[in-house]
Chain A
Amino acid sequence: MIFDLDGKRAFAYTAAHELDPKKSSVVFVHGAGLDHSSFALQSRYFGYHGRNVIALDLPGHGRSEGPPLPSIEAVADWLSAVLRKLKIEKASIVGHSMGSLVALEFAARHPAQCERIALIAIGYPMKVTEVFLEAARNDDYAAFDMSTIWGHAAQVPLGRDPNPGMWMYGDTLARLERLAPGVLYNDLKACNDYSTGAESAAKVKCPALFILGRRDVMTPPRAAKLLQEKIAGARTVEIAPSGHTLMAEAPDATLDALIGFIS
């Protein structure tokens, strides 16, 4: 669905359903350089199981007009404005990687709008290596290569994609190639600069779930430890064979974890 927010076009995938104020809502927030389709299977499931689904393209990504927002805090506030615009009083927020920082910050800044948060492939601080940042800053294709190779478990290029007939590396590269110049750098810098994660985690009062991939080299499970300690009552699901892109690498296990948490 296309909607206008502050004079800019924004897009949310709703799984071919109209938003219904009587239903509870699940918002999906994608990671750096990605778009709503990174949650294709999971968002579709909730859309066909009695929930409003709002899988967003963040500004400057997918079908949403740019420019991209420069900080995690700015995206969290934009998300708050989106919910007000769509007349969604409260929602569960599912975030992946950069999107998980957005979910965390949203829960701290806008608690009245936040029902619960699922943090997929989160780490804090989410520092990005200088070689990666530098390549993205220069719009060098090497940044796409790094995002692709480090964004998946080591066995992915040789292993089997759970989606029959698809090749995960090729799909990731094709998505990244659709980005406007500077968008990946913007996202990586926002992750790298985010510095209030510990304080925000301490403010989270809603239920929280960590979904972590044991083979994640970008945000390995140990990188979530600080946040896990700060969020009272948070639960964790570790998915053994997955790297950073859990929704694609382990779609069923990720969905099952979300169903257990949200339903």
Chain B
Amino acid sequence: MAAPKYPGPKFSGPKYPALDTLALHAGQSPDPATGSRAVPIYQTTSYVFRDTEHAASLFNMERAGHVYSRISNPTVAVLEERMAALEGGVGSIATASGQAALHLAIATLMGTGGHIVASTALYGGSHNLLAYTLKRFGIDTTFVNPRNLDEWKSSIKSNTRLLFGETLGNPGLDVLDIPSLSTIAREAKVPLLVDATFTTPVLMKPFELGADLLYHSATKFLGGHGVAIAGVLVDSGRFDWEASGKFETLTSPYAGFHGMDFEEESGTRAFLLRARREGLRDFGACMAPMTAFQILQGIETLHLRMPRHVENTRKVVAFLSKNASVEKVIYPELPDHPDHALAKKLLPHGCGAVFTFEIKGGRPAGKRFIESLRVFSHLANVGDAKSLVIHPATTTHYRMSDEDLKKAGITAGTVRLSIGLEDPQDLIDDLDRALRASAK
């Protein structure tokens, strides 16, 4: 059958709720105990069983429900269901951070001897995990130029278990060619995982383009307020683990859970079953209920915030592109960006609100620029409602060698901006003042 076409079925009658409605409602009906319209914060570690039989049935997955908040929690479950609804997945798992979501995905799919093919254009923390930390646990990664499809293909080995990239690469905004990579992944019988943090479901729906798994650092745009560290891992439910034959963790009996064969239990839920029943249980990087509540507050306005983020970004990009102190602006909506055509196809609603530019004058000019800003905050985060600035070579990517920096599209003069929701003219005035200072 043809691929689904968002937002709804092609017949007159009931339709799927639109994204705006899902952002406000999915996953929650008014609290049955109190009638509370807002999502209650179930600040509890555990849940009273009705009797011993009920307890045994919950533990053995014969009944649905909550046992212990490391495995699931009613407030966290609202966020998980809401994110699955927004992304069009079968379900999701909320985690302690975006990094925990990435680790959970990988640990669920492979152990020692596994291999990943990943884009070079990754957040520095993700690069560290793949290049150094996972290597220590016997999982190797081959990094490839995200734009070189042949390199992706030729790097796949018999033990490859995952292809991985960011929807918009950090920090060079390489647009991941998800449809083409999805074809490569399907041929190799391995899933494609994408980090969708920079795009959010408002700007891109990776599952509709062919991705199998995705995760967010919910700390960023999903929350938007910059008050909580959080992650969420979403499964499309479309990857056929049994047909692939490469994922023993999902298709053979697991001694750690009564011999459960997760794929046999449910083909569409196998990945999330194992990730929750093993990954959250044993690694324990769960989300706290208060964090879930805070992220939900952000998601309720995500569909309003993202267009404004993009609108402000376009104005700032236009200003910087004409500024004499700026060497180059790197944003896929600009015609000179190498992924301009791809961005028009995959990101018609905008390329997000995080981008880089190169300031003339190298490190000294960059230092003067950042220290002259008044509205922009100099810190290590993106996707806040407030505008942010950072110098990647000395912060987020400081562990990377010059060669790796170059591969990731970063120079000593690269400045990364995350454009917030302030008045755009105030942002432009702030940048203008700082650029003048940088040129002195």
By a beta-carbon cutoff of 8 Å, the part of chain A in contact with chain B is: 13, 16, 35, 37, 40-42, 44-45, 48, 62-63, 131, 135, 139-146, 149-150, 154-155, 157-167, 169-171, 173-175, 177-178, 181, 251-252, 255
B-side contacts of A135, CB under 8 Å: 11
Does B259 sit at the interface, judged by CB under 8 A? yes
B90 and A171 contacting across the interface, CB-CB below 8 Å = yes
B78-86, B185-193, B305-313 - interface stretch = B78-86
A62 to B276, CA, bound (A): 24
Interface size on B, residues (CB 8 A): 64
Most buried by A among B10, B27, B60, B81: B81
Does B138 sit at the interface, judged by CB under 8 A? no
A-side contacts of B338, CB under 8 Å: none
A37 and B268 contacting across the interface, CB-CB below 8 Å = yes
Given contacts A16-B261, A150-B14, contact A165 B81 (CB under 8 A): yes
B8 and A145 contacting across the interface, CB-CB below 8 Å = yes
Interface 1/0s, chain B 353-391, versus A by CB < 8 A?
000000000000000000000000000000000000000
A263, chain B: closest CB distance, angstroms = 12
B17 and A158 contacting across the interface, CB-CB below 8 Å = yes
Residue of B nearest to A131 (CB): B11
Does B45 sit at the interface, judged by CB under 8 A? no
Minimum-distance CB pairs A-B, first 10: A145-B9, A174-B237, A165-B80, A164-B72, A167-B84, A45-B62, A166-B91, A164-B77, A162-B64, A37-B266
Give residues of chain B (9-49) contacting chain A, Cβ–Cβ below 8 Å. Answer: 9-11, 13-17, 21-22, 25-29
A170 and B64 contacting across the interface, CB-CB below 8 Å = no
Given A144-B1, A145-B8, 13 more contacts at CB 8 Å? Answer: A13-B264, A44-B60, A44-B61, A141-B10, A155-B29, A157-B85, A158-B17, A158-B25, A164-B64, A165-B84, A173-B88, A175-B268, A178-B267
A-side contacts of B267, CB under 8 Å: 35, 37, 62, 175, 178
B57, chain A: closest CB distance, angstroms = 6
A251 and B64 contacting across the interface, CB-CB below 8 Å = yes
B89 and A170 contacting across the interface, CB-CB below 8 Å = yes
A-side contacts of B430, CB under 8 Å: none
A-side contacts of B27, CB under 8 Å: 160-161, 167
A155 to B32, CA, bound (A): 14
Given contacts A171-B268, A174-B268, contact A161 B16 (CB under 8 A): no
Give residues of chain B (228-279) contacting chain A, Cβ–Cβ below 8 Å. Answer: 236-238, 240, 242, 253, 258-261, 264-269, 272, 276
B64 and A160 contacting across the interface, CB-CB below 8 Å = no
A227, chain B: closest CB distance, angstroms = 27
Does B440 sit at the interface, judged by CB under 8 A? no
Most buried by B among A41, A42, A155, A158: A158
A63 to B276, CA, bound (A): 25
A166 and B84 contacting across the interface, CB-CB below 8 Å = yes
Given contacts A141-B2, A158-B17, contact A167 B29 (CB under 8 A): no
A63 and B242 contacting across the interface, CB-CB below 8 Å = yes
A-side contacts of B81, CB under 8 Å: 160-161, 165-167
Does B345 sit at the interface, judged by CB under 8 A? no
B437, chain A: closest CB distance, angstroms = 49
B-side contacts of A35, CB under 8 Å: 267
A37 to B261, CA, bound (A): 12
A-side contacts of B11, CB under 8 Å: 131, 135, 142, 145-146
A44 and B62 contacting across the interface, CB-CB below 8 Å = yes
Residue of B nearest to A42 (CB): B62
A141 and B64 contacting across the interface, CB-CB below 8 Å = no
A40 and B266 contacting across the interface, CB-CB below 8 Å = yes
A147 to B9, CA, bound (A): 11
B72 and A171 contacting across the interface, CB-CB below 8 Å = no
Interchain Cβ contacts under 8 Å between A and B, 28 examples: A37-B268, A37-B269, A40-B61, A44-B265, A145-B4, A145-B11, A146-B9, A146-B13, A149-B9, A149-B16, A157-B17, A158-B21, A158-B28, A161-B81, A164-B77, A164-B80, A165-B91, A165-B92, A167-B81, A167-B85, A167-B90, A169-B16, A170-B90, A170-B237, A174-B238, A177-B1, A178-B268, A181-B1
B29 and A160 contacting across the interface, CB-CB below 8 Å = yes
